[in-house]
Structure 1
Amino acid sequence: MKTLYYFFAFLLLFSCQSKTEEFDIIIKHGTIYDGSGGAPFVGDIGIKGDQIIAIGEIDQNADKIIDATGLAVSPGFIDMHTHLEPIMELPLAESLLKQGATFALGGPDGGGPWPFGTYLDSLEKMDLGLNVGFLVGHNTIRKEVMGMEDRKPSDEELQLMESYVETGMNEGAFGISTGLKYLPGTFSELDEVIALSKVAAKQGGIYTSHLREEGLGLIDAVKEAIVISREASIPVVLTHHKAIGVKMWGKSSITLAMVDSARNLGLDIMMDQYPYAASHTGISVLIPSWAMEGGKFEERVSNPVLKDSIKAGIIFNILNDRGGNDLRRIQFSRVSWNKDLEGETLLDWLEMEKMEPTMPNAAELVIQAQLNGGTGTIYHAMDENDVENIMKHPMTMVGSDGRLSSPGEGHPHPRAYGTFPRILGYYVREKQILLLPEAIHKMTGLSAKRIGLKDRGLIKEGFFADITIFNPETIIDKSTFTDPHQYPVGIEYVLVNGTVEIDKGELTGKTNGRVIRKTTQKKGL
């Protein structure tokens, strides 16, 4: 009898130990949105190491129990378009992490890092707050091979650029990005972009593009992207898709119809978007590209005849493109040479200089700004109806287009702090533009599938435990155009590869982000 007693006591002790050891973390009683777009369900999630190993009703122990009663449990958000350039200085990526993002795709707009593999190797040695992947940048490669010259590449130069794209893909790039509005990408012709995209396509990469134009030339620019998809046989993302300038407001109905038509023909065209009616880029976007060619802008504005042409081009862009026909729509974000201008508008600057608020005078200040080293600039030149129209399209994902930011540094676009909570709080809860499962799908499962991320983007057994837990009744962005350095509210927990990095809204100090390469998309890597 005593022997049986010890036997059962041993079994009970063993059972208790097994329950303790089976899970590191259990998320209890959460409303689970699995990232597929389907209806949510209430349940528990068991995590061991960096993976989800059980979903359902879990009646066991764990080292940490998270009570998610009344909270939404989602896959970690995926940022399809991120300016990760400051990541060496801001490896925690707090401005993204506190939005609930657990993966960010860097290297957009043609600006991927180079040498590609060397850069990723360096990042792998850092304690990262979230997972990152990168695109190889067309502008970066073209500048490396051809400088800032406005011409077609020679056969040898094109072959060298192709080899660079192949190298980037072999070293883990998820595809190629272009910034055909920016130098030197704007100097490239269609056949060059197709040739380089074919190289990325052979290795399963995607093509993301800051289109050649997003204002008056938007329709032709979308056509160009569709042709690239067809000729290179590559999936295309129209990144930060928008219609810029008063004359283009409402034209998203045309571009979305073009996407639908292309998809009906079998082409794989998608979009990403940030949820704001204002864009952000350099002041140079107002300057005709020919004036910047070869780095000879200062020389050209010293020539009175050329300067008149440059001013005319700037005035045209203020009236018809990014300027939105209103000097108050041009707002400075980062001005290294005059911090007093940060947050102010071009109209404010004219007033500071005691200059008449005319378009020629505004053009003079744009030239001066560029000569001083340029500025980061917010352009309030989009229509809210287009933002909502694009958002509702089933092939639209979410990309902040935000630069990693730190409180007190510059005057960033609020998307750097608020993109994902803004969609969930403002566009889902308040405006009901999207349903919550649909919005979560756009920022998780849909994006993961587009990139080719394996074992991420869904809450599913065997997938990595990248999980964001938020309060759907309170989540909202706080960052504004006048006061941008504000973190959102309503993000309660963020887990990155099974590590709790935000606990009850506060940073834990732990980091478990990884550099993810397309070439190593297997479990455990």
Structure 2
Amino acid sequence: MVIDLLLRNATVIDGTGSDGFPADVAVEGGRIARVGRIEGVEATRTIEAAGRIITPGFIDVHTHSDGPLLRQANFAAKTSQGFTTELLMLDGIAYAPVSAENWREWFVYLRALDGLRLDDYRGWTTIEDYMRCVDGATAQNALPLVAYGNVRALVLGFGPGPIDDYQSMLVSGEVARGMRAGAAGLSTGLDYLAQWHATTDELVDACRAIAPFSGIYVTHVRYKRGLRRALDEAVDIARRADVPLHLSHLKAVGDMSADDLFEFLGKCEREVDVSFDLYPYQSGSTMLHFMLPYEVWCDGPLATLPKLADPQVRRRVAEGLQRHRVQLDRIRIAWVTTADNKIHQGRTVAQYVADTGRSPADALCDLLIEERLAVLAVFVEGDDEAAFPLLEHDRFMLGSDGIFFAESAAHPRVCGSATRLLQRAVQGRTRRSLGGIIHRMTQFPAERFGLTERGVVRAGYWADLVVWNPEQVADRATYENPNRMSAGIDFVLVNGTPVVDNGAVIEFQNGGAPGRRLWFRA
């Protein structure tokens, strides 16, 4: 028998949390055929992996890859650091489901999140439509969630509601439709479009629609209203709906320290089945229009643009900046669309305001008008070391929250999250063992999000594998140079096919990429 690939003389850290052990790994037909000392087997290709570690492929449970996966078959920013699976449609905002009436609204709103161009956009009316486009078109496997903002907008539009019983039934039906298309649960972003007006009761009803499927409630909580209050609401929703709770990009900000969050999580575990994700950086990143008052969005993003010229709206923006004590010198312009404004990428909003000679509110509104809302920002929130205590928690898993633009000053988390954490673990700078850290990047998220036969180096499982050098692994992306690819990742396999080969990211053409759309299996 001749197998496809044999990886020899490696140390295998299998994803279960155990320490590494010496082994060979045989791959055949996209799956792991054998793990152990393998003799007397011929292989089409043999890779000598002495001094290397083999782990399962890393699973990114918080992404904004919905656009990049359609434009970049190899998605080098992620593939080069060992990610093999992406969870999509986070924060309750996505490209599907949409309607013939509102798809342009979503295109405009999301432009600064992943840069999808109009000629790439198909106005996918269902999650199934979108996932068919991803299947075989990318080097990453992909698993969807149901984005609540999209569902609510289909039923109520972008206004505040309130939602009545009939509309609640329609929302539940649309959520169930997404679950039948393989979604792992319901995502919300309660500071984002079409969601900030959602009541707790309304969200409980929506979550009850995922309960029969054993789905997970994945939430970006109402950070703008205070983290403590927002987390209490999330627990209340999950408890009342009787569904597991996953907290997106949880970190110590505002009114809660890391110690407060450890205490909260201990209490939370006694009430609901909880997990959370985080990236190994303290600063955040999102669309600059996140800073606008909620009411400017109630008629949809296309109507928001002319509103930004209204003096009354600008007064509201100014009041918000003052009320929240926004430090414009700690907000950096990361990406814009127009050539004229590219010179401002990498500069702070304070510098931009000073250059314009206008008031902060006028300068911000004018920039958003010029860019048709498409401005990405990085929000400096303290020393990155502040993020690491929570990465030691039992319920942690890795989510990069990565937003990628090729020519930008974007956040380095998109290119460096996995390798930054690996390097820290290899250097003994985590309380958990390297095996424990790998578990939280592989088997734990695979089991949490229903990815069967993935997340462990085990015979019969799909061959999503990373071969890496512990002496060289490192994140190289920085806030000054955010698009530098990681070091030390030698080989990455997705469903048995190399997507990184001897450190080089493979190019794929004409739909020949090995990534697949995945289905949630409870």
TM over 0.5, shorter chain: yes
TM-score normalised to structure 2 length: 0.88
Matching residue of 1:116 = 127
Q: CA deviation at 1:427?
A: 5.5
**Alignment deviations for residues 226-275 of structure 1 (CA, whole Å, 9 cap, x no partner):** 1111011111110111233xx54x6232223222112124x111100111
Q: Residues 434 and 339 (structure 1 numbering): CA distance in 2 closer, same or farther, change over 3 Å?
A: farther
Greater relative contact order, per chain length (Cα 8 Å cut-off, separation 6+): 2
User: 1:482: Cα distance to partner?
Assistant: 1.3
Alignment of 1:32-431 (within 5 A): 32-59=12-39, 60-86=41-67, 87-112=69-94, 113-114=96-97, 115-124=126-135, 126-213=136-223, 217-244=226-253, 247-248=254-255, 251-265=257-271, 267-295=272-300, 297=304, 304-305=311-312, 307-317=314-324, 319=325, 323=326, 326-337=327-338, 338-354=341-357, 361-372=359-370, 373-374=372-373, 375-405=375-405, 407=406, 409-426=407-424, 428-429=426-427, 431=429
Residue type of the partner of 2:342?
K
Q: Is the 8 A contact 1:414 1:480 kept in 2?
A: yes
Note closer, same or farther for the CA distance 1:314–1:370 as it changes in structure 2 (3 Å cut): farther
Tell me if the contact between 2:74 and 2:505 (Cα under 8 Å) persists in the aligned partners. no
Inter-partner Cα distance in structure 1 for 2:408 and 2:36: 46
Structure whose alpha-carbon radius of gyration is higher: 1
Q: CA deviation at 1:294?
A: 2.2
Give the conservation status (yes or no) of the 8 Å contact 1:331–1:343. yes
Aligned length: 481
After superposition, what is the alpha-carbon deviation per residue over 1:24-61, rounded to whole angstroms, capped at 9, x for unaligned?
11111111111011111111111111111211110122
The answer to whether the 8 Å contact 2:10/2:49 transfers is: yes
Which letter does structure 2 place at the counterpart of 1:90? Q
- CA displacement, residues 277-330 of structure 1 (integer Å, 9 cap, x when unaligned): 11111112222213433245456555545543331112333x2xxx4xx32210
Structure 2, unmatched stretches of 5+, are 98-125
Unaligned runs of 5+ in 1: 1-17, 356-360
Name whichever of 479-488 and 508-517 sits farther off: 508-517
The structure-2 alpha-carbon separation of the partners of 1:90 and 1:298, relative to structure 1 and needing over 3 Å to count, comes to: closer
1:12-23 matches, cutoff 5 A: 18=1, 21=2, 23=3
For residues 506 and 361 of structure 2, what CA distance do their matches in structure 1 show?
48
Q: CA deviation at 1:362?
A: 2.4
- Residue 516 of structure 1: aligned partner: 518
Identity of counterpart residues, as a percentage?
28
CA 1:388–1:467: 2 relative to 1, 3 Å = same
Alpha carbons of structure 1 residues 288 and 427: separation in structure 2 relative to 1, 3 Å: farther
CA distance in 2, matches of 1:109, 1:333: 20
Displacement of 1:431: 3.4
Q: Deviations over 1:185-229 (max 9, x none)?
A: 11100111111111112112111111111x660001111111111
8 Å Cα contact 2:281-2:385 kept in structure 1: no
Contact 1:229 1:269 in 2 (8 A): no
* Secondary structure class of the residue paired with 2:210: helix
- Distance verdict in 2 for CA 1:368–1:508, change over 3 Å: closer
Q: Once structures 1 and 2 are overlaid, which stretch shifts more, 343-352 or 493-502? A: 343-352
CA distance in 2, matches of 1:301, 1:508: 44
Q: Distance in 2 between matches of 1:140 and 1:255?
A: 30
Partner SS, residue 512 of structure 1: coil
Q: Which amino acid aligns with 2:44?
A: D
Larger CA deviation: 75-84 vs 477-486: 477-486
DSSP-derived class of the 2:25 partner = strand
Residues 111-144 of structure 1 deviation map (CA, whole Å, 9 limit, x = unaligned): 24221111112222x4321211110100111112
| 1:518 match: secondary structure | coil
Residue identity opposite 1:111 in structure 2: I
Does the 8 Å contact 2:9/2:24 carry over to 1?
yes
1:319-371 CA-partner distances (Å, limit 9, x unpaired): 2xxx4xx322101111113212211111221232246xxxxx32332222333
Do the aligned residues in 2 keep the contact of 1:135 with 1:177 (CA within 8 Å)? yes
Is the Cα contact below 8 Å between 1:85 and 1:404 reproduced in 2?
A: no
TM-score (norm 1): 0.87
- SS of residue in 2 equivalent to 1:472: coil
Take 2:82 and 2:187, find their aligned partners in 1: how far apart are those partners?
25
Deviation at residue 424 of structure 1 after TM alignment = 0.9
